[in-house]
Chains A and B, each alone.
Chain A
Amino acid sequence: MLTLPIEYYLTLSAVIFIIGTIGVLTRRNAIIIFMCIELMLNSVNLTLVAFSQYMGDMAGQIMVLLVMTVAAAEAAVGLAIVLALFRNKQTVYVDEVNVLKW
Chain B
Amino acid sequence: MTQTDLLAGLAIEIVSIFALIIMLTDALVERSTRLCETLSIVGLLGGLAASAYAHLTMPGQTAFNGMIVVGGMSTLYDAIFCGAGIMTVLLAREYLTRVGGMFDEFYTLLMMSIAGMMLMGHSADSMPMFVGLEVMSICFYVMAGLMRNKLSSNEAALKYFLLGAFASGFLLYGIALVYGSVGSTAYSAIAAKALSTQFPTLFWVGIGMMIIGLGFKVAAFPFHQWAPDVYHGAPTVVTGFMSTAGKAAAFSGFVGFIAPTMASGVPGLEKAKVILALLAVGSMLVGNITALAQTNVKRMLAYSSVAHAGYLMIGLAAGNAAGWTGITYYLVAYLFMQIGAFAVVGILERENGGNLTVDDYRGLARRRPGLALVMSLFMFSLTGIPPFAGFFGKYYLFNAAIQADLTWLAIVGVVSSVISVWFYLGLVVIMYFREPLGEMEGGEASISSRTALALSIIGTLLIGLIPQAIINIAAR
Instruction: Tell whether A pairs with B.
Output: yes
Cα distance, A44 to B299, chains bound together (Å): 35
**Interface residue A85 (Cβ < 8 Å from any Cβ of B):** yes
Q: How far is the CA of A67 from the CA of B156 in the complex (A)?
A: 24
Docked-complex contact A77 and B176, CB < 8 angstroms: no
Most A C-beta atoms less than 10 A away, residue of B155, B296, B299:
B155
From B154, B168, B232, B233, name the one whose CB has the most chain A CB atoms within 10 angstroms. B154
Contact B165 A44 (CB under 8 A): no
For chain B, the count of residues having a C-beta within 8 Å of the partner chain is 43
Nearest chain A residue, comparing its CB with the CB of B167: A37
Cβ A99 vs Cβ B152 within 8 A: yes
Residue A88 contacts which of B149, B169, B295 (CB distance < 8 angstroms)?
B149
Any B CB within 8 A of the CB of A4: no
Name the prevailing secondary structure of the B interface residues.
Answer: helix
Closest to A79 in B: B161
For the complex, is B42 an interface residue (Cβ under 8 Å from A)? no
A66-B127, A81-B157 known; A17+B173 contact, CB < 8 A: yes
Q: Give Cα distance in the complex from A51 to B149, angstroms.
A: 46
Secondary structure at the A interface, as helix, strand, loop or mixed, is helix
Known: A77-B161, A78-B161. A84 touches B127 (CB 8 A): no
Contact A102 B134 (CB under 8 A): no
A11 to B: closest C-beta gap in Å: 12
Q: How far is the CB of B125 from chain A (nearest CB, A)?
A: 9
Which of chain A's residues have a CB closer than 8 A to the CB of B175? 63
Q: How far does the Cβ of B294 sit from chain A's closest Cβ, in whole Å?
A: 7
User: In the complex, A78→B166 CA distance in Å?
Assistant: 12
A88: B residues at CB distance < 8 A: 149-151, 154
Complex contact A33–B162 (CB within 8 A): yes
Asked whether, in the complex, the Cβ of A30 is within 8 Å of the Cβ of B176, the reply is no
Q: Which of A24, A44, A67, A78 has the most CB of B within 10 A?
A: A44
A residues with CB within 8 A of B: 10, 17, 20-21, 24, 30, 33-34, 37, 40-41, 43-44, 47-48, 51, 55, 57, 59-60, 62-63, 66-67, 70, 73-74, 77-78, 80-82, 84-85, 88-89, 94, 97-100, 102
By Cβ-Cβ distance, the 3 closest A-B pairs, closest first, are A40-B169, A51-B180, A85-B154
